[in-house]
Every structure is written in C-alpha cells, then in structure tokens.
Amino acid sequence: MTAGPVLPRLAVTPGEPAGVGPELVARLAATPIAADLVAIADPGLLDRAARAAGVAINLEPYDPGRRIALRAPGALRVLAAPLRATEQPGRPDPRNAFYVLNTLARAADGCLAGEFDALVTGPVQKSAINDAGEAFSGHTEFLAERAGAEVVMMLASDALRVALATTHLPLAEVPAAITREGLARTLRIVRRELVAKFGIARPRIAVLGLNPHAGEGGHLGREEIETIAPVMEALRAEGFDLLGPLPADTAFVPAMRARYDAVLAMYHDQALPVLKSEAFDRTVNLTLGLPFVRTSVDHGTALELAGTGRADPASLIAAAHMALELAAAGKARRGASNA
C-alpha cells in the first residue's frame, strides 16, 4: 500500500470492442488526468486500438491491493477480460456480447464493494448484445438491476442538466409509461442527487409537459392536467422547488434557463437535441440513483470511425473529469457529515 494521499481509482469500460471505445480509452490514458485509471478490458484490444490511433500507452496488470499516488501520461492499469473473438473495427460480433456485459458487471461490482471510486463507461452496441440473445436496453438499466437501485438517466454539460422521465422507449409507448408514481419517484431521485452529488442545497427543477404547448389547457392532450401537474403540486407541498409543466419549445431560452438547475424531460429526444447541439463534445451521461458515481460518453459506437484513429475523445475525457469531481464532492460531504 502507498503511504499518504493516493489517486482516486476510476474503473473504465471501453464498451463495444469493434467501436471507437477502445481508442477513446487509450486517448484518455494519454492525458495527464490525475486518476488511477483501471481499464476492464482485453489487453490486446487496447494495445491494437492504441497502435491504430498512434497513441503511446503503457499497459500494466491491475493489482487491486496496490494504490498509486502518481500516474504518468500513458499509464493504464488493466483488469484483464478476454474477448470471445478478435475484434474487426466497424463490425460488431455478437460473440463478444458477453465479454461486454462481463466488463460492466465486474466494474459495477467493484464500485459497489468500494474497490473503485467511480465508473466511466464507453459506448456499447445494443444491437450486438440483443443479437446474442441477451435482452439489453442500455447501461442505465443494466447498472440499475446490478445495483438493485431505482435510477434516472441524466445528461449534463457545463451549462445544462437534463434528466429523463423515460429512457429507451419507442415514442408510441411513452404516454403510457408516464405515471404519477413514476414521475414522483423520478423527481425525488433527481432532487436528492442534485443535493448529494452536485451540492445544490435547494435544487430548482423545471418539468416539461409531454404535449406541444404543454397540452394547451387540455386541447392538445390531458397528460399535463391528469398526471404531471398533480404530481408537481403534491411535491411542492413537500418543499420541492418545481417549475412547470413547461412547453418544451420555450423551456430552453436563456430567460428560462436562469430559473432552474435541471430539467426533467418526458422522453429521450424531447430535450437531448438541445443539449447535444450546443455541447456535444462536452456532454456527459450520468446515472442518478446508483450508490456510486457512473458517467459515460454522450454518443454511440461510431462504427464508421473505428480503426481510423480519428475518434474524438472529448466526451470520454469530460466524463472522466466529471466522475472525479462528483466522487470527490461526495467523499467530502460524507466526511463532513461524519465529523
């Protein structure tokens, strides 16, 4: 064990081996980020990705009993997980689906046990996992089940935080999925995590309506009247600071943004285009409600870029830095509460 201060330990999963994730992890390792980076991956995969990208990295077997105080740029510790089939960039192989799931499970279990301070995930190819016969709708749902937690997906940049009432659903299924119980649970998680992870003492949350013009008084839909507004009224009575239901087409103008700390959107594509259009390379995906910090890139596997050496690591780098910030803030608040 290293005496004195040690670096926070981040578990990093590259995701789909045929996508850009392995290259992004190599590029992250090449930065001077002050973290003990532990990639849970096939070492050969990382080596091949780094070589293809022209990135110099130094792979070292991971020893969980060894904490480190310094890390040279390029240093990357690897918790080895073998591929089922050698990757072909741009061509996902369902045989590697269980490799991907195993890396996620090992990372989550390590976070739950306190072995890692946070988890940073690269993009996965959901279709390849489902083609292997394993039902998989996304990281968020997988980690929630692994941790036995109720969670909320949030995407965040320096200027905007967007949480989702529903995640990876066909649009036709969204209205039925928005219930009073579900909305109340989601808003409680968002408020709690804005306090616990972001240090906002009294979070102000804007809630979007489901329909155009937030239902136009019932003329364009009644979900706002029958479901969303009653939940908001009940939570306001408990002390929640809630704004809305707001029409989505005006909720993101500057004058409105000044009035809230986060937005709750009713479905995936309702608010995320706004966030990604202005901060795509700086947006981070977070899973709120987990008993550990998990951040991720805000993009997919970019199969067309895999193996070309041209993948942009900005989102993964932003995710790693946000993971460090949230983990440190949570540790500091726990220390203050125990003092």
Residues in CB range of 129: below 8 A, 6 or more apart: 94, 97, 100, 101, 136
DSSP E strands: which ranges in the chain? Answer: 9-13, 36-41, 58-61, 75-80, 118-121, 152-156, 161-164, 204-208, 241-246, 262-265, 284-288, 293-296
168 annotated to a ligand binding site? yes
228 burial type by CB count under 10 A (0-12 exposed, 13-18 middle, 19+ buried): buried
Has 268 been labeled as part of a binding site? yes
Q: Is 287 annotated as a binding residue?
A: no
Task: Say whether 299 counts as a known binding-site residue.
Answer: no
Residue type, 78: V
The reply, when asked if residue 139 is annotated as ligand binding, is: yes
Q: Which residues pair with 208 in a beta bridge?
A: 246
Residue 27 among known ligand-binding residues = no
DSSP 49-68: HHHHHT---EEEE--TT---
Inter-residue contact 154 to 174 (CB < 8 Å): no
Give dist(CA 116, CA 110) in Å, integer: 6
- The reply, when asked if residue 321 is annotated as ligand binding, is no
219 in a known ligand binding site:
no
Q: Show binding-site residues for a divalent metal cation.
A: 168, 213, 268
Residue positions forming the annotated binding site for substrate:
139-140, 276, 285, 294
Annotated binding site: 139-140, 168, 213, 268, 276, 285, 294
